[in-house]
Chains A and B, each alone.
Chain A
């Protein structure tokens, strides 16, 4: 079961500051929902865990993250990760390509493509929802990432939402299930009703 996600967003910060944050796994991992690093193997290899809970399926993955490419000049990176469910219920993998583009002295565009693959129970139960779930996770990442970097208060409501979300996160850093489900339901119905009116 695979899901592809492509997103771009802008951060009100100079490109070098964004790059410094993004290219440091120990910093960026704090923005990945449910993730934490447990061990640094070397400069490009890390071990970590990701905890996800979705409906009846709780999954905790133990895995490795490897930085396959890091181009400080072009601001291009490629990261891959794969992990096994700690209870032997499946596995998950991810390949991410990221690129930063300077849009102004204090404005940086972050673009990334992700391919997420899951096997096992999550793939079975989540096949209909996996894209939506992944999108929600990606959106949470963006919010946290922006919140962590942007000192200037961006739209107040959004920042507040991010703080609320962060506060609601359970201690074990598992993903906020309720917010996730609401988001997925919204996305689903959004799709249902957003089709264009018929052309006659």
Chain B
């Protein structure tokens, strides 16, 4: 049970209050970018490349310009005149805005058509004639590294291969030594395929440049409005758009999941066109463009090895990664972390030796590498460690739950230093797994499995006990383009005791309008329903790096608590003045200060705030406002224990997830109902890559499932009944002991499901199956093994 310190009326932490924002969302009153209509607004559509790699011989715009309503067609050559034809990526690579001579991936932007309606723009797009000379693309990342592979990035001076970067963590020599002498070594090669976040709202913007005042207002689908404003200033400062002349507004966002962190060429083209014609320009992607051209996630080829004793004591792990970044490194990681936080991959287990290395390559596929509901490559790392842990259990014939319980870092061993250098803040892995085992009835399931196996039925049980790493991050290590990854909160309490608070983050469905209000309510005793939360407008919100990678609660949530505590200190001074006692004589209970031993002598927070405007103590600043920029001392380390049961049809290979129990530990819980909602959505997005989703390219670089007809997104029909629960191990360094939860289920679910399927087939000698595990894949295995 969650204990609440505040009353239901105040609605502080732990109360399952309904999301405030849902009033407008469920009534269709959300206000999204595509709802914005400005006088004289023009519409943009984008001509895209049908080829993965081709020279552009000519672009003929004559017919397009004849289409009624079309006012302009913009090409790379047009943008080149203003040096706006390229832009930096968040990883300090470079990316074309529009090409001047070569296209590097299918669906790349080739030209933009501007018209007075979106239909005219689309007709114009169809009428643009582009002459291409296709070249042989490089699609396979392994082939991209072969010596005779054509060099793709000829635009980068001195580039002689397709290699982007090499990264290492841990101790190579020590790891080799342990592996050389270990009793048991297990090894698997796996591919975490390209995925797309498939948010319900696609990407888009309205760029509104005001020529008279030399001011740009950019309404856009972004998870990080402040960072975007800075990027625009860096890209367009030379044409006079300096940062004070730019306002970025991120209205309601229909799902982000990492896909709305990058800057896409469409945004930049819209800005350039608005700047040149002096009119607002709207660009909204259609579903296929979103799926085919926007940043992908994952696409890691991982070789993972584990060394252990015969009894099952884990001694060391080794990871080797090949990362396919497509045309450019457009990942959205902190600058110093090319593989994101992949080095969390040593897992929840107590051993001291590990080595990881990764290489990234260019191919003729769309660029990206975003953190899809995942703290920068954590999903990839967790999949590898949780799969190889099961592989070890299979190798030595030990129950995977027992193996985990024997190897877990113990509760009292925290803070724990990982072999790759992280300091895990807190955790209680044993309690989590034992709870999950109890809820699902683990021992009975194993018995049932043995009986079914004897009858020839296929049933599997899969476990995933992951450690997450979120809340980027401490400024000594974490920055994006040099900007430190702190986040901010500004609270203003009005004379009548009602408040508005603004943040540097941006909700895309996380429920910030409710949870941030609850944090402030917890600290100040002002009812959450009277605290209005605002995000997403760079003109009003304090600077922050946005919402992704489960960082909002660890950073901005902490900032809200600290800012509120500053105000509580001020309130105490005012209360002492009003009650004519010294501050030391005052006690706080949510909502009021009272005199020790005389609880009837009290001042409510509302009375105190009113006094701050009407009767403030001499020498004190009037008003009741505070701002805090929170720089976390460490990351937070949520964890979870997931158990999944699958039944497999031995004739068709069809997989049915019979049960799925998810016990999450995200530290102190702000709103259990929102946490549960986050976990449900996240588990479904974890089911997706495990059984359904992957972006598939043929050897010519054609995407073979570029529409939602072919890219299988699970719906309520495919989703099992999720059974959720929690343990609470507060973060010791976070002001409210919270850790973050948004991405845990997406990270933890795929290996639980994959482990369950492999477990169902393990007696046939199956040790690994790459996700997505589709019925044809399973059927083929069953056929090979003589079961079908």
Q: Is A117 an interface residue (CB 8 A)?
A: yes
Q: Are A198 and B651 in contact (CB under 8 A)?
A: yes
Q: Are B132 and A1 in contact (CB under 8 A)?
A: no
B-side residues, CB < 8 A to A, are: 50-52, 106, 126, 128-132, 134, 288, 292, 651, 698, 700, 702-707, 709-710
Q: Are B710 and A128 in contact (CB under 8 A)?
A: yes
Distance of A13 Cα from B705 Cα, bound (Å): 45
Q: Are B698 and A120 in contact (CB under 8 A)?
A: no
Q: Given A1-B700, A88-B130, check contact A119 B50 (CB 8 Å).
A: yes
Question: Which chain B residues border A119 with CB–CB below 8 Å?
Answer: 50-52, 134, 700, 702
Q: Is A91 an interface residue (CB 8 A)?
A: yes
Report the minimal beta-carbon distance from B67 to chain A, rounded to whole angstroms: 14
Q: Given A1-B698, A91-B134, check contact A120 B50 (CB 8 Å).
A: yes
Question: Which chain A residues border B706 with CB–CB below 8 Å?
Answer: 124-125
Give residues 111-125 of A contacting B (CB, 8 Å).
117-121, 123-125
Which residue of chain B has the shortest Cβ distance to A118 in the bound complex? B702
Question: Which chain A residues border B50 with CB–CB below 8 Å?
Answer: 85, 88-91, 119-121
A-side interface size class: 20 to 34
SS class of chain B's interface: helix, strand, loop or mixed? loop
Q: Is A87 an interface residue (CB 8 A)?
A: yes
B129's contact among A2, A88, A90, A127, by CB below 8 Å, is which? A88
Q: Are B702 and A87 in contact (CB under 8 A)?
A: no
Q: Are B704 and A1 in contact (CB under 8 A)?
A: yes
Question: Which chain A residues border B130 with CB–CB below 8 Å?
Answer: 88
Which residue of chain B has the shortest Cβ distance to A128 in the bound complex? B710
Question: Which chain B residues border A89 with CB–CB below 8 Å?
Answer: 50
Which residue of chain A has the shortest Cβ distance to B705 in the bound complex? A127
Q: Is A142 an interface residue (CB 8 A)?
A: no
Can you name 14 A-B residue pairings with CB atoms under 8 Å?
Answer: A1-B704, A84-B131, A87-B129, A88-B128, A88-B129, A90-B50, A91-B51, A117-B700, A119-B702, A120-B51, A123-B704, A124-B704, A124-B706, A127-B704
Report the minimal beta-carbon distance from A128 to chain B, rounded to whole angstroms: 6
Distance of A4 Cα from B709 Cα, bound (Å): 24
Give residues 133-149 of A contacting B (CB, 8 Å).
none
Which residue of chain A has the shortest Cβ distance to B130 in the bound complex? A88
Report the minimal beta-carbon distance from B128 to chain A, rounded to whole angstroms: 8
Question: Which chain B residues border A2 with CB–CB below 8 Å?
Answer: 698
Distance of A88 Cα from B702 Cα, bound (Å): 15
Interface centre among A1, A2, A85 (most CB of B within 10 A): A1
Distance of A2 Cα from B700 Cα, bound (Å): 10
Which residue of chain B has the shortest Cβ distance to A119 in the bound complex? B700
Interface centre among A85, A88, A91, A118 (most CB of B within 10 A): A88
Question: Which chain B residues border A85 with CB–CB below 8 Å?
Answer: 50
B700's contact among A88, A123, A198, by CB below 8 Å, is which? A123
Give 18 new A-B contacts, CB below 8 A, not counting A89-B50, A119-B50, A119-B134: A1-B700, A1-B702, A2-B698, A84-B131, A84-B132, A85-B50, A88-B50, A88-B131, A90-B50, A90-B51, A117-B700, A118-B702, A119-B700, A121-B50, A123-B698, A123-B702, A124-B706, A125-B707
The 3 closest A-B pairs by CB, nearest first: A120-B50, A88-B130, A123-B702
Which residue of chain B has the shortest Cβ distance to A87 in the bound complex? B129
Distance of A123 Cα from B137 Cα, bound (Å): 16
Distance of A91 Cα from B53 Cα, bound (Å): 13
Give residues 74-93 of A contacting B (CB, 8 Å).
84-85, 87-91
Distance of A117 Cα from B700 Cα, bound (Å): 10
Distance of A118 Cα from B698 Cα, bound (Å): 11
Distance of A162 Cα from B207 Cα, bound (Å): 56
Report the minimal beta-carbon distance from A118 to chain B, rounded to whole angstroms: 8
Which residue of chain A has the shortest Cβ distance to B696 in the bound complex? A127
Which residue of chain A has the shortest Cβ distance to B132 in the bound complex? A88
Q: Are B134 and A127 in contact (CB under 8 A)?
A: no
Q: Are A120 and B129 in contact (CB under 8 A)?
A: no
Q: Are A124 and B702 in contact (CB under 8 A)?
A: yes
